[in-house]
A and B are shown apart, each in its own frame.
Chain A
Amino acid sequence: MSDTRPTLSPIAPEQAPEGRGFFTRYFRVYAALWRNSVSREMIFKANFLLWIFVEILWFALQLGFIGVLYLHTETIGTWTKWEVVMLIGGSHFVQQVFQALFLINCTNLSEMVRLGKLDFLLVLPVNTRFVVSLRQVDLGAFVNAAFGAAVVVYAAAKLGLSPGIGQIAAFLVLCTAGILIHYSLMFLLASISFWTVRAQGIVWGYYNLFQVARMPDEAFRGLFRAFFTFAIPMLLVSNVPVRVLADKITSPASAGLMLGMTAACFLVSEWVWRTSLRRYTSASS
């Protein structure tokens, strides 16, 4: 067989460069996961719509809270009302995209470990972290992310901003970094489930930290601020992209710091994941 190969057409898949085959393969796997998620969501259509409504309600509630705060003050630090609205919108956008792609998968990991269902994913001929992290897609969260984006645009109009293409691109890149920070940290916590069956409480505990991410960074000082900047970079996740968009960035260093922290969080989570996976013993059977 092998002698006949060179006579085949040069675009035969066997001869495609290794990198491209790798990416098309993963792209096709991911497309299949998407199709699965869509049909799953469409089983309970009413429920799907109701969840979107619930999220909108809670988003409106946060905006209402900001409205009440600004009845009683002009600024929080240097942040004005519409800047904070933009921050809430931006953090909602980041959080919802994270939720769409990763949240269910991170929270499901502890159940999969406990029940031994991880076996099925381990034997698949794809990277296990890839399939564990991206197995289900929460489509409703994309709708909510769009609402977050709409609030950012509206607040930008209220602030009279006219960001250039570069600024918008930087905003989107930094939002992606924010999503990756959320994902890396939550995946790291989910990896704890290899060590204790009670990891789910910890994973949901992380959910509370989203509330820190949508507060203006200037409200915090000292240890709390240092911790949530350099250890768990919640105060970078949405503050930095929104600052870039709102012309509030004090120095490009904070954007650099955020990208550095993203890489650091991802590498640490990969290391913890690999270390933890070695402890996996499956469930008794």
Chain B
Amino acid sequence: MLPAPFAEVRTCKKLRGGLVWPKQMRKYRHVLGIGLQQSLTYRLNFLARALFGLIPLFAIISVWRTIYAGKDGVQVGTYTLAQMISYYLLTLVVDALTAVNEDDWQIAADIRDGNISQFLLKPMDYLWYRFALFTAGRVGYMAVAILPITLFILSLKSHFVLPANWETLGWFACSVVMTAMLQFFISYALAMLAFWVLEVSTFIFIVFAFEYIASGHLFPIDILPHGLQSVLMLTPFPYQLYFPVSIYMGKTAGADLARGLLIQLGWVVLAYAAARWAWRRGIKHYSAVGG
């Protein structure tokens, strides 16, 4: 029996002559399948990462519990203890679904080592190829991480708030998809730096540092002083994590929700344009190494 992706390629040949769009999509579906297999090869690594990742999160939650205990249950900003804990649990979920794992390093390495040359010849777009691999990586990661994450949330379930209604959950899901796209396009655009510099990891880490604090990884950004908060909301970073979580928790609703989703969409389009632009500029500068 053929392995799944090969079998898919074969069946695909039989289906020659479908609609133009689905046919275009089909090759990326294969990439998705291959990427999924690749990522599941590293399932033990994923599990180790998911488990170890829970420890610092639990530490932060413990610190907040101690703070609330010292304040006799007074709220921090607009957050009760249960809401604060839920915030961190939701960042865990959104992060597992949308965080760029090693895609940026791999893209940079592909450029540096000259592996992208083949994509200049193949009828396959490198950006969508990487996006398929990114999606596969996330699905693979979720498949492994869902168990520890679920158990962790269940162990704190008395502090876990559910969304107000199905509609909120739906908008949350929409926003999470856009978050994933935003994360990917920004990482892709950054990795394009590899056309000009040999070692891109420092640049990626610098941006990641800002992203880490401004996207709400460390704390919900609406507990910051008002001025700082409104400055941060002008950057794309909150739309990489904080925004979907705030939808889930009902902190962003009504007109704010509609406006926020539009701004998020705007950032996705802008990041996509930046990624395309950087690629085109890079290719002009590119001279394949090693062939």
Closest 6 pairs between A and B when the two form their complex, measured CB to CB? A205-B52, A201-B45, A211-B56, A50-B202, A219-B66, A219-B63
Chain B residues closer than 8 Å to A50, beta-carbon distance? 202-203, 206
Nearest-CB residue, chain A, relative to B43: A198
Binding site for A on B (CB under 8 A): 42, 44-45, 48-49, 51-53, 55-56, 58-60, 62-63, 65-67, 70-71, 76-77, 199, 202-203, 205-206, 209, 212-213, 218-219, 223-225
* Cα–Cα distance between A71 and B66 once the two chains are bound (Å): 15
Contact at B202–A72, with CB atoms within 8 Å? no
Q: Which of B65, B67, B209, B224 is A54 in contact with, Cβ under 8 Å?
A: B209
- Given A76-B70, A219-B63, do A53 and B199 touch, yes or no (CB 8 Å)? no
Most chain B CB within 10 A, of A47, A64, A75, A219, is at A219
Judge whether A47 and B213 touch: CB under 8 Å.
Answer: no
Between A and B, 27 residue pairs with Cβ closer than 8 Å are A47-B202, A50-B206, A53-B206, A61-B209, A61-B218, A64-B213, A65-B213, A73-B70, A73-B71, A76-B66, A76-B67, A77-B66, A77-B70, A198-B42, A202-B48, A204-B49, A205-B48, A205-B52, A208-B52, A208-B55, A209-B56, A211-B56, A215-B63, A216-B63, A219-B59, A224-B58, A224-B62
The reply to whether B48 and A220 form a contact with Cβ atoms under 8 Å apart is no
Check A209–B55 contact: CB distance below 8 A. Answer: yes
Q: Output the nearest chain B residue to A65 by Cβ-Cβ distance.
A: B218
- Cα of A58 to Cα of B72 in the assembled complex, Å: 32
Complex contact B62–A219 (CB within 8 A): yes
Q: Count how many pairs of residues, one from A and one from B, have CB atoms less than 8 Å apart in the complex.
A: 99
Complex Cα gap A50–B219 (Å): 27
Q: What string of 1s and 0s marks CB contacts (under 8 Å) between A181-223 and chain B? A: 0000000000000000010111011101101100110111100
Q: How large is the interface on A (under 10, 10 to 19, 20 to 34, 35 or more residues)?
A: 35 or more
Q: Which of A36-95 contact B (CB under 8 A)?
A: 44, 47, 50-51, 53-54, 57-58, 61, 64-65, 68-69, 71-77
Tell me if B's interface is mostly helix, strand, loop or mixed.
helix
B219-A205 in contact (CB<8A): no
Task: List A145-178 residues whose CB lies under 8 Å from chain B.
Answer: none
In the assembled complex, which residues on chain B have CB atoms less than 8 Å from the CB atom of A47?
Answer: 199, 202
Tell me if A44 and B199 are in contact (CB < 8 A).
yes
Q: A76-B66, A212-B55, A219-B62 are contacts. A54–B206 as well, Cβ < 8 Å?
A: yes
Are A201 and B44 neighbours in the complex by a CB distance under 8 Å? yes
CB-nearest residue of chain B relative to A214? Answer: B59
**Contact between chains at B56 and A212 (CB < 8 Å):** yes
Known: A65-B219, A72-B76, A201-B44. A211 touches B59 (CB 8 A): yes
The interface residues of chain A lying within 8 Å CB-to-CB of B51 are 205
Give A267 to B203 CA distance when docked, in angstroms.
40
CB < 8 Å neighbour of B209 from A57, A76, A209: A57
Q: Which of B67, B71, B203 has the most CB of A within 10 A?
A: B67
Residues in B whose Cβ lies below 8 Å from that of A57? 205-206, 209
A65 to B219, CA, bound (A): 8
Residues of A within 8 A of B56 (CB): 208-209, 211-212
Q: When the two chains form their complex, are residues A215 and B62 in contact, meaning their CB atoms are under 8 A apart?
A: yes
